């Protein structure tokens, strides 16, 4: 797939709707491209609310539904972020493309999927190489006396068995993120370009002063 470029202040200013399309296209490309310029939005920061304050961490963008404006990430169902999202489902997803100097901020409403059809569909996308991420024998985030790699000893060099996949599945959570609003910011020597694409409660696109 060919690379799509965000406009700089030197380029012709695109229409808001063309810009919005490009943003979603870039997110979608990121999940299919590994290690190339197109994968710049593959990692994102998920900022959550917690009763003790704000929290944030990096996760991998796993799925994008351009037509319905949903994005997905995967995690261990026992992690702190899952507890936080159960209590406060709204979150911010933050993306940064260094080479394009573009930031996306997505305001999302999340839903956790652990044992339904949608979780099963997402689980099918988890390659054997990533199965061990869901095989920790110890509670994620729990205090330990010494470093722990996050999976059982036999997984280290061995192949993943059907039993391994089944036990990992029990810890798997797919997080559905319904995008309520996307904010675009591009930095440039000639100035910045900022826009907001709102989807809910009403659909509205607008330029913003940076
Ligand atoms: C590049 C990178 C990618 C990561 N991807 C994920 C991911 O897809 N899912 C995940 O749960 N944690 C991922 N992590 C680990 C999280 O940042 C975090 O440390 C972990 O999920 C525990 O977070 P929590 O205690 O806030 O739940 C990633 C970390 C890095 C540095």
Report pLDDT digits (tens) over 110-150.
999 999 999 999 999 999 999 999 999 999 999 999 999 99
Any domain includes 49: yes
Q: What percent of the chain has pLDDT over 70?
A: 95
Any domain includes 202: yes
Mean pLDDT value of segment 1-19: 67
Tell me the pLDDT band of 38, cut-offs 50, 70 and 90.
confident
Q: For the domain that residue 24 is a member of, what is the CATH number?
A: 2.30.110.10
Q: What is the pLDDT of residue 3?
A: 45
Residue 66 CA to ligand 1 center (angstroms) comes to 24
Any domain includes 149: no
Per-residue tokens: 189 = 């020597």
**Over the stretch 156-197, which tens digit does the pLDDT of each residue have?**
777 899 999 999 999 999 999 999 999 999 999 999 999 999
Task: Residue 182: count other Cβ atoms within 10 Å of its Cβ.
Answer: 24
Separation of alpha carbons 109 and 101, rounded Å: 26
Contact assessment for residue 59 and residue 71, using Cβ atoms and an 8 Å cutoff = no
Q: What is the pLDDT of residue 33?
A: 77
Mean pLDDT value of segment 30-40: 81
Q: What is the pLDDT of residue 2?
A: 42
Residue 58 CA to ligand 1 center (angstroms) comes to 5
Name the residue of 63, 75, 85, 140 to mutate for ligand 1: max ligand atoms within 8 A of Cβ: 75
Residue 77 CA to ligand 1 center (angstroms) comes to 12
Q: What is the pLDDT of residue 20?
A: 98
Any domain includes 144: no
Q: What is the pLDDT of residue 155?
A: 83
Ligand 1, residue 62: give the atom nearest the CA: 8
Any domain includes 8: no
Ligand 1, residue 75: give the atom nearest the CA: 11
Select from 162, 167, 142, 141 the least CA-distant residue to 152: 167
Separation of alpha carbons 75 and 94, rounded Å: 17
Any domain includes 141: no
Q: What is the pLDDT of residue 195?
A: 98
Ligand 1, residue 76: give the atom nearest the CA: 11
Total domain count, the chain: 1
* Domain ranges, residue 202: 16-127+169-208
**Residues 6 or more apart in contact with residue 105 via CB below 8 angstroms:** 92, 93, 94, 95, 182, 183, 185
Average pLDDT, the chain: 93
Q: What is the pLDDT of residue 156?
A: 77
Any domain includes 199: yes
Any domain includes 138: no
| Residue 75 beta carbon below 6 angstroms from any ligand 1 atom | yes
Separation of alpha carbons 104 and 185, rounded Å: 7
Alpha helix ranges (H) inside 11-124: 16-32, 80-87, 117-123
Q: What percent of the chain has pLDDT over 90?
A: 85
| Residue 83 beta carbon below 6 angstroms from any ligand 1 atom | no
C-alpha dihedral (167, 91, 34, 134), degrees to nearest 10: -10
For atom 20 of ligand 1, the residue with the nearest CA is 57
Whole-model pTM? Answer: 0.93
| Residue 60 beta carbon below 6 angstroms from any ligand 1 atom | yes
Q: What is the pLDDT of residue 5?
A: 53
| Residue 57 beta carbon below 6 angstroms from any ligand 1 atom | yes
């Amino acid at each position: 797939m060919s690379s799509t470029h965000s406009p700089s202040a030197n380029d012709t200013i695109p229409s808001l709707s063309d810009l919005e399309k490009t943003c979603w296209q870039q997110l979608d490309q990121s999940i299919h491209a590994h290690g190339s310029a197109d994968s710049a939005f593959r990692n994102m920061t998920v900022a959550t609310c917690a009763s003790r304050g704000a929290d944030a961490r990096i996760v991998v963008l796993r799925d994008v539904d351009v037509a319905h404006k949903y994005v997905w990430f995967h995690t261990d169902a026992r992690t702190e972020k899952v507890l936080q999202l159960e209590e406060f489902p709204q979150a911010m997803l933050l993306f940064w493309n260094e080479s394009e100097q573009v930031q996306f901020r997505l305001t999302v409403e999340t839903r956790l999927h652990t044992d339904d059809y949608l979780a099963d569909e997402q689980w099918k996308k988890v390659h054997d190489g990533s199965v061990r991420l869901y095989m920790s024998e110890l509670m994620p985030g729990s205090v330990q006396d010494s470093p722990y790699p996050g999976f059982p000893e036999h997984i280290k060099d061995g192949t993943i068995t059907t039993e391994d996949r089944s036990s990992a599945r029990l810890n798997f959570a797919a997080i559905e993120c319904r995008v309520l609003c996307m904010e675009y910011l591009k930095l440039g020597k000639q100035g910045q370009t900022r826009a907001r694409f709102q989807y809910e409660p009403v659909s509205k696109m607008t330029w913003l002063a940076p």
